[in-house]
Amino acid sequence: MTDLLTCHGRFFIEVNGNHIYTELHESFNDVGVQRWIDDMKQAIKQMAGKPFTILVNETAATGATPEALELANEYNEWLNQQALIAKAVVYSEEVFKQIDISNLPARKQQNIQFFDDTQMADNWLTEELNKAHLP
């Protein structure tokens, strides 16, 4: 029960074919980010090693604690070992993008683009998926 009281941040994850869509809401602490990471890893494991894309919609997110950002970077290190084709991240404000760039250096190894519009992000991921020429 204590875990529920200390968890900050809400999220939604949807898997559709080779695509994972996730929305982040509110401000995240380490407990909230760890729950999101655990659920994202489950979604990625559903891919059974097949290549995939991720769209992270952070337009309703309002920040993260330093501990949450550290966990998120560790997750991205793990993600770099998976069959990720491309990742698009949508931000509501430039400042959130800059905070992530500064605190998530593991993402430098990813085919990643940043957007302020989910449709543009989704279009780019579709192009990247098509370039991969999957069977």
Residue 127 lies in a domain: no
What single letter denotes the amino acid at residue 35? R
* Residue 121 · residue 115 · CB < 8 Å: yes
Beta-carbon contacts of residue 104 (< 8 Å; ≥ 6 apart)? 69, 72, 73, 76
Residue 9 has which token pair? Answer: 């941040």
Kindly state the greatest CA–CA separation across the chain: 47
Residue 35 lies in a domain: yes
CA dihedral 81, 37, 16, 59 (to 10 degrees): -110
Residue 1 lies in a domain: no
Residue 40 lies in a domain: yes
Q: How many domains does the chain have?
A: 1
pTM score: 0.93
Beta bridge partners of residue 84, listed in sequence order: 52
Mean pLDDT in residue range 51-60? 97
Residue 17 lies in a domain: no
pLDDT bracket for residue 134 (50, 70, 90): confident
pLDDT bracket for residue 41 (50, 70, 90): very high
What range defines the domain where residue 76 resides?
28-115
In the chain, the percentage of residues whose pLDDT exceeds 70 is 96
Residue 13 lies in a domain: no
